[in-house]
Amino acid sequence: MKKLVDLISQEIKKAFVQKGYDEKYGQVSQSNRPDLCQYQCNGAMAAAKEYKKAPIMIAEEVVAELQGDHRFKEIIAIMPGFINITLSDEFIAQYLNDMQRKENFGCQKEVSPKTIVIDYGGPNIAKPLHVGHMRSAIIGESLKRIFKFMGNNAIGDVHLGDWGTPMGLVIAELKRRKPDLVYFDESYSGEYPEEAPFTISELEDIYPTASAYSKENPEFHEEAKQITFLMQNGHRGYMALWKHMQEVSVTDLKKIYDRLNVSFELWKKESDAQPYIPEMIEYLKDNGYAEISEGALVVDVKEETDTKEMPPFMLLKTDGATLYSTTDLATIVERMKLFNPDHILYITDKRQELHFERLFRCAKKAKLVNEDTNLQFIGFGTMNGKDGKPFKTRDGGVLRLEHLIDMVTDEVYKKIMENRDMDQAEAKEIAKKVGIAALKYGDLSNQASKDYVFDLERFTSFEGNTGPYILYTIVRIKSILEKFNKTGKKISDDMEVLKPETPVEVDLMLQITRFSDMINSAYQEQAPHRICQYIYDLADKFSSFYHETKIISDENSEKRQASLILLITLVRDILLTCIELLGFEAPERM
């Protein structure tokens, strides 16, 4: 189904052509003076230059051509040469009826669907998830859903951080605490226990202690490095401990991602890319892409046009050890081999931008990807506290993601209990959904690259531009529909949305018609905040409409009643689709 703005443009273009002008001048856009008209075309101004005529004359000719067209209620030329367009009520209603019957409300899918790997997890085993991981998860999950909605094959990969010194540190600390564990007995050759010798909370306590301790004790740091080296080279006991760490962490991570309504198609790990490294290094050396510089193996990724410093991309340190960069490059090799994607998208804190820029240059230069493989990085800003500094706990520590989720959920629970009389258990369940909506909407309603302030009070408010307000609107519509169902009246298949009867109804309908246009921008610009803007407007227009319109009333004729019910059902369905794309759900009531 064509976007409404394209349908209108098509007619205006035809008229331009009829009058002997180029069709490009007929492009229409949403009016920036909604008090005057719904759509506008400013092409006569530009055409005036080419055809050396007064713009108003051109506009008048075009407008004359379109008089009597059933699609327009009013189409007029305004000085100096604007064309102001107001659609006919029948045309708007017809468009809505078409939307309702079509899959995805008539939104056209991608004509050439792509395979897209999205790397938006990046949690590290043995380390708790923090707010940075949350932003990555929230934004990535939404983009993935938008990509899929448009018909692409989008594959989310958690890309677990399970490689490198942190693992060695944890094992070294465990050895300090429990030296008698069988994993540390070098002469032991039997099977290792199935059960991990630590719980998730122990594990999370071990890493910070070990990390702090290693800063003060160089020998301990050395030992951790040695352990890491041995583990990476197949030491049985250390490998077994590492496996335990993975299992314990992954179980816990899945729980938290689940609470966030985030799920990954792939649970790949940094270690999965390791087998690709030796051959990749050989290839890079043999083909002259990599060179030794001050003892390290690097790829020069400078380009002539660079205005900023572009350090070489390092693959092997002087001692032969691999790095984060080596793993990321090998992961590209792995992804190309396993999925042959058209597009690989990474979503992390924008402080990693330079790393990714160099990674992409290296992959392209060395032809590890195809010429047209789209390697893309989206860097997000920081979530700040009200003081404008990165959000911290009260005692200044890094806030753990779980605690953040609890905090928001508790606040929502409090609000629900303050305002209504509800069973505690039910309120708890509702608060879970509403809390996640508050958190995600608070994040996604900002442009990803921007920093934003985490404002618990505002995010959880049931009014204003918030997740809970959107959910509240949905719940309200659901309850009207329930009421209607209780009247026992039925809507037969031949009933339709009729033409609007009031200005608020026109506004609501017009907002609905913009769905495809909005989804297309959200998709093209990879911008979930477009969806937030749209549903906030939609919810607002619904609210004005609701205040002025009697929906369940015997004064309405049967057809009018059915039309109103179909209309609000459409609003509900669009809102539900949109929140699904943002990655949260609505409760039945709240």
CB-based contact 523:146 (threshold 8 Å): yes
C-alpha distances in angstroms, 581 versus 109, 166, 258, 471, 529? 15, 35, 16, 14, 11
Query: Closest separation between CB of residue 45 and ligand ARG, Å?
Result: 48
Between residues 122 and 468, which has the closer beta carbon with respect to ligand ARG? 122
Q: Which is nearer to ligand ARG, 159 or 358 (CB)?
A: 159
Query: What gap in Å lies between CA 310 and CA 355, rounded to an integer?
Result: 10
Shortest Å distance, C-beta 321 to ligand ARG: 17
Evaluate the omega torsion of the peptide bond into residue 80 and state whether it is cis, within 30 degrees of 0. yes
Give 165 or 348: the residue with its C-beta nearer to ligand ARG.
348
Output Rg (C-alpha) for the chain, integer angstroms: 29
CB of 339 to ligand ARG, least distance (A): 15
Tally of CA atoms within 13 A in the half-sphere of 280 that contains its CB: 29
**How many C-beta atoms surround the C-beta of residue 261 within 10 A?**
18
Burial track 192-219 (b if 16+ CB lie within 10 A, e otherwise): beeebbbebeebbebbeebbebbeeeee
Nearer to ligand ARG, 43 or 140 (CB): 140
Q: What are the φ/ψ torsions at residue 347 (nearest 5 degrees)?
A: -125, 110
Closest distance to ligand ARG from the beta carbon of 248 (Å)? 18
CB 207 to ligand ARG: min, Å = 13
Nearer to ligand ARG, 122 or 168 (CB): 122
d(CA 390, CA 382): 6
Is residue 491 helix, strand or coil? coil
Of 43 and 121, CB closest to ligand ARG: 121
Choose between 131 and 509: whose C-beta lies nearer to ligand ARG: 131
Report the nearest approach of ligand ARG to the CB of residue 355 (Å).
Answer: 7
Minimum CB distance to ligand ARG, residue 230 (Å):
22
Q: Which is nearer to ligand ARG, 336 or 512 (CB)?
A: 336
Residue 77 or 126 with smaller CB distance to ligand ARG = 126
Least Å distance between CB 299 and ligand ARG?
17
Two structure tokens written together for 153:
């094959």
The pair of three-digit structure tokens given for residue 18, joined into one six-digit string: 């009829």
Q: Which is nearer to ligand ARG, 81 or 161 (CB)?
A: 161
CB of 349 to ligand ARG, least distance (A): 7
The amino acid at 331: T
Residue in the block written with tokens 């706990």: 393
Place of tokens 């240059």: 361
Position of minimal CB gap to ligand ARG: 122
Of 91 and 380, which CB lies nearer to ligand ARG in the complex structure?
380
Closer CB to ligand ARG, residue 137 or residue 284? 137
Q: Are strands 343-349 and 115-119 parallel, antiparallel or unpaired?
A: parallel
Q: Record the tokens describing residue 420, joined without a space.
A: 């209504």
Residue whose CB is less far from ligand ARG, 355 or 514: 355
DSSP characters for 41-77?
A: E-HHHHHHHHHTS-HHHHHHHHHHHHTT-TTEEEEEE
Amino acid code (one letter) for 174: L
Place of tokens 């753990």: 400
Structure tokens at 254: 């899945």
Q: How far is the CB of 296 from ligand ARG (least distance, A)?
A: 20
What minimum distance in Å lies between the beta carbon of 526 and ligand ARG?
17
Structure tokens at 218: 């160089």
Nearer to ligand ARG, 119 or 505 (CB): 119
Q: What is the distance between the alpha carbons of residues 367 and 253, in angstroms, rounded to a whole number?
A: 35
d(CA 204, CA 202): 5
Which phi and psi angles does 302 have, rounded to 5°?
-65, 150
- Binding footprint of ligand ARG on the chain (CB under 6 A): 119, 122, 124, 159, 161, 328, 346, 348
Distance in angstroms (rounded) separating the CA atoms of residues 193 and 187 = 16
User: Least CB distance from residue 250 to ligand ARG, whole Å?
Assistant: 14
**CA 340 to each of CA 218, 264, 366, 386, 471: distance values in angstroms, whole numbers, following the listed order:** 44, 18, 17, 44, 39
Contacts of 16 (CB under 8 A, 6+ apart): 22, 23, 25, 26, 43, 47, 62
Structure tokens belonging to residue 262: 């985030």
Cβ 267 to ligand ARG shortest distance, Å: 14
Alpha-carbon dihedral sign for residues 180, 182, 184, 189: positive
Query: Nearest to residue 405, comparing CAs of 368, 381, 431?
Result: 431
398 in helix, strand or coil? strand
The minimum distance between CB 368 and ligand ARG, in angstroms, equals: 15
Query: Which contiguous run of DSSP H or E holds residue 111?
Result: none
Shortest separation between residue 73's beta carbon and ligand ARG, angstroms: 53
Residue with tokens 């976007």: 3
- What is the chain's length? 590
Nearer to ligand ARG, 161 or 442 (CB): 161
For residue 431 the two structure tokens come to 């608060």
